[in-house]
Amino acid sequence: MAVVVVLSCGLPTQRDEVGISRQALDSVTGFGSNPGALAMYRFVPTGLPRGRPLVVLLHGCTDTATNFSSTSGFEALATQRQFALLVPQQQVTNNVQLCFNWFESGDQTRGAGEMQSLVQMVDRMVTDTGSDPQQVFIAGFSAGAAEVVNAIATHPDRFRAAVVAA
């Protein structure tokens, strides 16, 4: 699996804009059976053309999707480089420290737990934003980075590249 820097996303070539146009992180519900009981948030730059990349961003322990996506600079980068951003969030009912459960066998398996929730979120984003399913990238920090390792191990066909930090 190659490691990619998100800056490699090129400028948009298509002009068919996505109908979702917001400049804030939005909560999304109803994205599937969600066996990992994660929350789904997304950032879609205003005027995003269809066919652009999707970046999945996973926070570390004690952090939230909203805080991590804004303080990491990914929201500004998504606007500048024109890609959609999916930011799953762990729930305190799953892990009191808000860590992704990368260490739990039920969350390390393709088609189950948190891995299945992530896939369902990606599918929803591809449907809603018209993101290119061949350009789905995933990045994580700390426990989110460990979760990235599980995601690329269980779903190498779903993620083009990954970034693991800390």
Residues with a known catalytic role: 142
How many other β-carbons are positioned within 10 Å of the β-carbon of residue 136? 21
The two tokens of residue 164 are 């693991």
3-class secondary-structure state, position 66 = helix
3-class secondary-structure state, position 122 = helix
Ramachandran region, residue 51 (left: φ > 0; alpha: ψ -120 to 50; beta: rest) = left
Q: In 3D, which of 121, 140, 151, 119 has the Cα closest to residue 40?
A: 121
* CB 100 within 8 Å of CB 58: yes
